[in-house]
């Protein structure tokens, strides 16, 4: 079974530390690290650490894009990257070593021409076989219509794919006009899908089950932040709390969770075990710094105590 992760708005993630953040002062950064970034790219990186091969598709350009490709190759991931005109963005995360607080700066994403979008779709079509997994993760490129993911699902509907969706905002709402296999909103995103600003715990369960019963999704996994997550399916609703660990960075925790869920799909795990793997991967990601993401040893250690 092929797994294709699509990242339309990738980034080169730079992380650094500063010994005290003070306004209007020249601050000396240290402990500089670079990592490939973007929803689908992060998912491919974590799955690779779990010994699962993926087809990592994304557009790239410029020095940041070239380094992004190089870093993926160093992780033994062969990128299916498509050259474009607009340069790949660079994001920055800075940790104040005195307060342990993390500051995250996201830069505007790239734009894609019609020809570049067509080339991305052609690349995906050459890879995909019937019943494969297509992962639509992260935000859309700048100026893309909110219904792009929905159009892409319709384009490949004849392949009977398992669509894994992890996006937000209008793109999430528009994509759910098509059926997906698994979706992973957070509490805020779930409430907005329901047309509300807030949902109680019981309302969250009810609405997630509505999505299942209306066949919008086979699995709905809702992340609850530090409290863990729950999964809704035809088998019911299951919760999984998180163990107490030292949190160094929350960047990529959601992407790592999605990777754990996909790993479970490949292994035909039950919804309850699927959720354990998702939470374990998400928690493991918080133990690293910057965008280090989840590592195999940490994931297995967490699985043992869940």
Per DSSP, the three-state class of 185 is coil
Q: Is 166 a catalytic residue?
A: no
Question: What value, to the nearest 5°, has the Cα angle with vertex 71 and ends 291 and 49?
Answer: 65
Name residue 92's beta-bridge partners.
Answer: 14, 105
**Residue 2: exposed, middle, or buried by beta-carbon count in 10 A (0-12, 13-18, 19+)?**
middle
pLDDT for 247 equals 86
User: Which of the 8 DSSP states describes residue 226?
Assistant: G
Other C-beta atoms closer than 10 Å to the C-beta of 271 total: 20
Which residue, among 160, 162, 211, 218, has the nearest Cα to 190 in the 3D structure?
211
| pLDDT above 80 for 290 | no
pLDDT band at 292 (very low <50, low <70, confident <90, very high): confident
Q: Alpha-carbon distance 112 to 276, whole Å?
A: 37
Architecture of domain 3-305: 3-Layer(aba) Sandwich (3.40)
pLDDT for 249 equals 84
Tens digit of each residue's pLDDT (9 = 90 or more) over 123-136: 999 999 999 999 99
Tally of residues, the chain: 306
pLDDT for 248 equals 85
Q: How far is CA 269 from CA 160, 274, 289, 304, in A?
A: 21, 6, 30, 16
DSSP string, 99-130: T--EEEEPPP--B--HHHHHHHHHHHHHH--T
Q: How far is CA 188 from CA 61, 286, 289, 298, in A?
A: 33, 21, 26, 28
- Phi, psi dihedrals of residue 267, rounded to the nearest 5°: -95, 5
Q: How far is CA 92 from CA 28, 165, 264, 273, in A?
A: 15, 25, 32, 35
Average pLDDT in the 57-66 region?
Answer: 97
Tens digit of each residue's pLDDT (9 = 90 or more) over 179-235: 999 999 999 999 999 999 999 999 999 999 999 999 999 999 999 988 999 999 999
Name residue 60's beta-bridge partners.
Answer: 83
Tens digit of each residue's pLDDT (9 = 90 or more) over 93-124: 999 999 999 999 999 988 999 999 999 999 99
Q: Are β-strands 55-60 and 79-83 bridged in parallel, bridged antiparallel, or unpaired? A: parallel
Q: How many CA atoms lie within 13 A of 245 on its CB side?
A: 26
User: Would you say the pTM of this structure is higher than 0.75?
Assistant: yes
Both tokens assigned to 157: 């509907």
Spatial contact of 216 and 180, defined as CB atoms under 8 Å apart: yes
- Report CA dihedral (248, 254, 255, 259) to the nearest 10 degrees: 110
Q: Which one is catalytic: 132, 166, 255, 298?
A: 255
Q: Alpha-carbon distance 251 to 32, whole Å?
A: 16
Both tokens assigned to 305: 């105590």
């Amino acid at each position: 079974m092929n797994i294709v992760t699509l990242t339309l708005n990738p980034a080169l993630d730079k992380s650094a530390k500063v010994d005290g953040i003070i306004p209007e002062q020249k601050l000396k950064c240290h402990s500089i690290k670079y990592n490939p970034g973007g929803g689908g790219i992060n998912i491919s990186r974590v799955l690779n650490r779990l010994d699962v091969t993926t087809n990592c598709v994304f557009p790239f350009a410029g020095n940041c894009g070239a380094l992004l490709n190089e870093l993926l190759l160093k992780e033994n991931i062969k990128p299916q990257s498509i050259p474009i005109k607009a340069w790949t963005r660079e994001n920055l995360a800075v940790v104040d070593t005195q307060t342990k607080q993390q500051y995250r700066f996201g830069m505007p994403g790239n734009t894609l021409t019609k020809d570049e979008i067509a080339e991305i779709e052609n690349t995906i079509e050459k890879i995909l076989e019937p019943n494969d997994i297509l992962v639509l993760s992260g935000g859309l490129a700048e100026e893309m219509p909110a219904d792009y993911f929905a159009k892409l699902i319709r384009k490949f509907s004849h392949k009977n794919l398992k669509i894994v969706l992890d996006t937000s905002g209008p793109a999430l709402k528009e994509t759910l006009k098509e059926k997906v296999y698994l979706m992973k909103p957070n509490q805020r995103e779930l409430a907005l899908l329901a047309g509300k600003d807030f949902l109680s715990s019981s309302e969250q369960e009810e609405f997630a089950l509505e999505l299942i019963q209306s066949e919008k999704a086979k699995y709905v996994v809702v992340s609850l932040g530090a409290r863990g997550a729950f999964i809704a399916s035809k088998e019911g609703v299951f919760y999984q709390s998180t163990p107490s660990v030292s949190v160094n960075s929350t960047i990529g925790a959601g992407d790592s969770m999605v990777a754990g869920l996909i790993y479970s799909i490949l292994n035909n795990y039950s919804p309850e075990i699927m959720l354990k793997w998702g939470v374990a991967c998400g928690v493991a990601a918080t133990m690293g710094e910057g965008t280090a993401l989840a590592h195999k040893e940490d994931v297995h250690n967490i699985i043992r105590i869940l």
